[in-house]
Amino acid sequence: MRALSAKYENKNVLVVGGNGSDCRFVAEHYGFKHIVTPEEVHAVQPFKYLQNVHRPVEAIMVFHDSVDWGRDLQVILDALISQDGRLNTIKSQAELHTTKQSVPVYFSNSDMVWSNEHPNPRFAQGTFRSCLERIYKDVTGHDLEYTLFGKPMTTTYQYAESVLDNLAPIHKGHDGMPQPRTVYAIGDNPYADIAGANGYGWKSVLVRTGVFKPEGDENHHTHPATAVVDDVEDAVRWIISTELRKEHPF
């Protein structure tokens, strides 16, 4: 979402997700200057106004997983059905069903689940988005319009490649042509990490320590990885071994 900072640098942005002010700090680091969070909106009393809350919201950016779905879904919906992003207003019933949403929405990833200490995967930002889509559809009759970032979206890999180019420029051979570069992507989610890497032409390494927990040594049936290993350390060892074999095949 850093790329959006030029467009929304001086506009009011509703930043959603994460614990405390973590995502606010990230947004400020990206260059956004006018930020309001659902916590701040929720805390405002009718007779009080925060600096940015009474300004129209011009974009909604879900930086990370919500920690309070009910509150965040409500505040986002308030902005979507408001008059031009003003949170203390609402469109008429006729306008709700005949006009588009008031504010553009951006999501930082599409993962439906993620893994933590719990034995089963937990709901992630993609599930939160699905809930918002259903609520908005039921209230307005329209499909929610939004922009997705993160894996497996192509734009994410294009941005990552531009960062790699700056960190490790592609060397040119004697003929002046760029030498081939192999990029390995390590991840635990077949539908995001592996699907994205495969679709972009990178090598993918699937680890068994997260969302993907097979019974045995099998690969994923829908998005098979280049290699399946136990954890990140094994992935790095496999990559190094693979590259050494390329350099010294015998």
CATH of the domain at 84: 3.40.50.1000
* Helix, strand, coil distribution of the chain in percent, nearest 5: 40, 15, 45
Phi-psi region of 85 (alpha: psi -120 to 50; beta: other; left: phi over 0): left
143 and 178 together in one domain = no
pLDDT at 46: 43
Number of compact structural domains in the chain? 2
> What are φ and ψ of residue 104, in 5° steps?
-70, 150
Q: Is residue 156 part of a domain?
A: no
pLDDT by 10s per residue, the chain, length 250: 888 999 998 899 999 998 888 899 999 999 999 998 988 887 764 444 445 556 889 999 999 999 899 999 999 999 999 998 988 889 999 998 888 899 999 999 888 887 777 878 788 999 999 999 999 999 999 999 999 998 999 989 999 998 888 887 766 666 767 677 899 999 999 999 999 999 999 999 999 998 898 888 899 999 999 999 999 999 999 999 999 888 766 5
- Of 56, 53, 6, 51, nearest to 32 by C-alpha is 6
- What pLDDT score was predicted for residue 173? 64
Q: What is the pTM of this model?
A: 0.73
What's residue 50's pLDDT?
A: 45
Whole-number Å distance between alpha carbons of 19 and 8: 23
Answer yes or no: do 140 and 192 share one domain. no
Six-digit token string for 28 = 């400020």
d(CA 188, CA 210): 5
Q: Does one domain contain both 7 and 106? A: yes
Same domain, yes or no: 176 and 141: no
Containing structural domain, residue 113: 2-148
Q: What does the alpha-carbon distance between residue 224 and residue 219 come to, in Å, rounded to a whole number?
A: 6
Query: Is 92 in the same domain as 175?
Result: no
pLDDT of residue 176: 67
The overall longest dimension of the chain from CA atoms, in Å, is 77
Same domain, 95 and 129: yes
For residue 242, being part of any structural domain is answered with yes
Of the candidates 114, 148, 182, which is a domain's last residue?
Answer: 148
pLDDT score, position 235:
98
Q: What was the pLDDT predicted at 245? A: 86
The answer to the question of residue 25 being in a domain is yes
pLDDT at residue number 47: 43
Structure tokens at 33: 């200057």
Alpha-helix residue ranges (DSSP H) falling in the chain: 5-8, 22-30, 38-43, 69-80, 93-98, 125-140, 154-167, 195-200, 232-247
| Confidence at residue 140, expressed as pLDDT on a 0 to 100 scale | 95
Are 189 and 233 contained in the same domain?
Answer: yes
Both 142 and 176 in one domain: the answer is: no
| pLDDT value at residue 75 | 92
85 and 198: one domain? Answer: no
Q: Is residue 59 part of a domain?
A: yes
- Other C-beta atoms closer than 10 Å to the C-beta of 227 total 18
Q: Is residue 14 part of a domain?
A: yes
